[in-house]
Amino acid sequence: MTNSSELSVHFINSVLVTVVVALFVLWRYRQAILGGMMQGDSVALPLPGGTEQALAGWPGGDLPAREHAMRRRIAAAWLLTTAICGLPMAIAYMSVANMGLSPTYALGLTLCYMVAALPMIAVSLAWPTLRMVGAFVAMMLCCAALVLVAGMIERSMAGRPVSWRILGLIPLFGELAWNQLWMAGLFWLMSWPVRLRGVVPITFAALLVFGFAPFAGSRLTAALAATEFGTPWVLTLGLNGIFVLIALPVGWLAWLRLRKLAGDYEAKRFSDAQLLARTWWLMLVVTIGFDILIARERLLFALLLVAGEILLFAPVNRWVLQRLGVVRGGEARHAPTLLLLRVFGYTARTERLFDRVAARWRLIGPVTMIAAPDVTARTIDAGDYLRWLTGRVDELFVTSRAGLDARLAALDLNPDPDGRFRINEFCCRDATWQATVVELMLRADAVIMDVRGITQARRGCEFELQQLAQRLAPQRLVLVVDGTTDRAVLQAAFGPGLSEVRLVEVRYSREADRAFSALLEAAVS
């Protein structure tokens, strides 16, 4: 019981410390990107020649229908993945808890575990928080109804009368869901903020391993002190010495885990959403394992359950995605590319627009953008994390024409295993950003630019507007405006072609979907 409690505390502490460390990492990473941008270079890269060539509109079919189909398939994939993985866990829990083999209870527990699919769907489809809350309420009501129907069918098949008392299954399901999910739900909430999602999984994986050192140290100390041979070593090394002895190899294992995750992500073995989903499923499975371990005192059973569920989740998810046709061969050659531009300096507003527009576009094609501190929390991935950790952030920056050509040739246009595309961010210095942004314009099928806040005193995006007017068909461009946009400055920077550009007014974050709809029209025009 003591060991079980210590392991439980270790796991909870790992979750709590993950949030703190993730915030620190984001702050330091943002400072590193800002510092890199401020470094000057002697000679600016010359601008490329040419204009956009593909003016006939995107030939890839009905983009709104494709995006809608992807949304349905991805949502179904997460629900089916958690259902398949949740059923054996439900049966195992019923067995160890002596709950019998009631199909109704098995269904109820499985539906409880399927609640984990909601945050996974929300991340993949960029749901706003209110929609997530509404979906949770709707899912709980539907699950309670399914349990009620299953209970009625089970009683009828057993030849027992069905009375109004069976309505007690509804509050019983609520109690069951609370008992199974409340701790995992708290963990999910801690890692739910959008700014943390890019760094929480890899931070949690490292801390979960490294945080094992104190527990292992205390166990080793107790084991050595109980032997005649080990007692002198305990007295000689002391508690601190034994902790260091354990911390070094454990830290090395944590480092290997970080490198493995970063390498697998860059090799496209999973997406950012899949990595986060595995983290959330791990949190749920471990809490169920601790319930079995502490309340039932079944150590081996709990370990097998946790290990089995962790090993099962990824291949099941991969199989489901393939069966539902989320990833199709050859799609990389037929994916429209979006270029996202904005007036720098409006972090919160830019993040809100980015969350909806870029995340939704990733269902149909890749996104390119110039990186800056205002969206670093949205774009940092496992590879960026490892570069920052090893002091190699400079590798992310375009510093020469050869470097720019290499980055352009390495543009990631392939979908991830979950069918979503990635964001290609270009970190630039003062001498390289103009050439880089023009190159990205020439490769974009649609461009969205947030010009809210452009005024006579704040004209930082004039260059981009002038280049867009010269190099891109105006029908391919969407400009996001609001009451703070000085239309006269916009007209002067863009020129007479502004009348053909789609202007979308977005005053509130909930209106960002209008900009996305305009983008779909722009891509096929």
| Average pLDDT score over residue span 313-338 | 81
Q: CA 485, 486, 491 angle in degrees (round to 5)?
A: 115
User: 346-379 pLDDT, tens per residue?
Assistant: 656 677 777 788 889 999 999 999 887 767 777 8
What pLDDT, on a 0 to 100 scale, did the predictor assign at position 189? Answer: 86
What pLDDT, on a 0 to 100 scale, did the predictor assign at position 61? Answer: 63
Q: Which of 7-16, 256-265, 356-365, 474-483 has the lowest mean pLDDT?
A: 7-16
**pLDDT of 262 above 70:** yes
Q: Which of 167-176, 234-243, 377-386, 411-420 has the lowest mean pLDDT?
A: 234-243
Q: How many residues does the chain have?
A: 525
What pLDDT, on a 0 to 100 scale, did the predictor assign at position 82? Answer: 97
**pLDDT of 319 above 70:** yes
Per-residue confidence band for 42, with pLDDT thresholds at 50, 70 and 90: low
Q: Pick from 330, 312, 203, 321: which is nearest to 271 by CA? A: 321
Contacts of 493 (CB under 8 A, 6+ apart): 459, 461, 462, 465, 466, 469
Whole-number Cα distances in Å, 2 to 219, 400, 448: 11, 59, 57
In this structure, which amino acid lies at residue 184? A
**pLDDT of 1 above 60:** no
What's the maximum distance between 2 C-alpha atoms anywhere in the chain?
90
Contacts of 424 (CB under 8 A, 6+ apart): 366, 367, 368, 369, 411, 412
Helix (H) or strand (E) holding 216: helix 212-225
Q: Which of 30-34, 42-46, 165-169 has the lowest mean pLDDT?
A: 42-46
**pLDDT of 298 above 90:** no
Contact (CB, 8 A) for 343 and 502: no
Helix (H, G, I), strand (E, B) or coil at 367: strand
The domains found in the chain, sorted by start residue, are 2-23+77-323 (no CATH), 330-524 (3.40.50)
Helix (H, G, I), strand (E, B) or coil at 499: helix
Neighbours of 311 (CB within 10 A): 10
**pLDDT of 265 above 70:** yes
Is 183 or 84 the better-scoring residue by pLDDT? 84
Round to whole Å and give the CA distance between 477 and 480. Answer: 10
**pLDDT of 50 above 80:** no
Is 134 or 62 the better-scoring residue by pLDDT? 134
pTM: 0.87
What is the overall mean pLDDT for the chain? 83
| Average pLDDT score over residue span 465-491 | 88
| Distance in angstroms between the alpha carbons of the first and the last residue of the chain | 67
* CA–centroid distance for 384 within its chain: 14
CA Rg, the chain, in Å?
27
Q: What are residue 479's phi and psi, to 5 degrees?
A: -110, 125
| Average pLDDT score over residue span 150-179 | 87
Per-residue confidence band for 130, with pLDDT thresholds at 50, 70 and 90: confident
Contacts of 247 (CB under 8 A, 6+ apart): 210, 213, 217
Q: What are residue 338's phi and psi, to 5 degrees?
A: -110, 135
| Average pLDDT score over residue span 300-304 | 86
Round to whole Å and give the CA distance between 439 and 471. Answer: 10
In this structure, which amino acid lies at residue 381? D
* Burial label, 49 (beta-carbon count in 10 A; 0-12, 13-18, 19+): exposed
User: 184-218 pLDDT, tens per residue?
Assistant: 888 888 888 877 888 888 888 777 776 665 555 55
**pLDDT of 81 above 70:** yes
| Average pLDDT score over residue span 157-165 | 82
| Average pLDDT score over residue span 52-81 | 79
Contact (CB, 8 A) for 339 and 440: yes
Helix (H) or strand (E) holding 479: strand 477-481
User: 483-525 pLDDT, tens per residue?
Assistant: 888 888 888 888 888 888 898 888 877 778 888 888 888 887 7
What is the DSSP annotation of 105-134? Answer: HHHHHHHHHHTTHHHHHHHHHT--HHHHHH
Contact (CB, 8 A) for 366 and 338: yes
**pLDDT of 329 above 80:** no
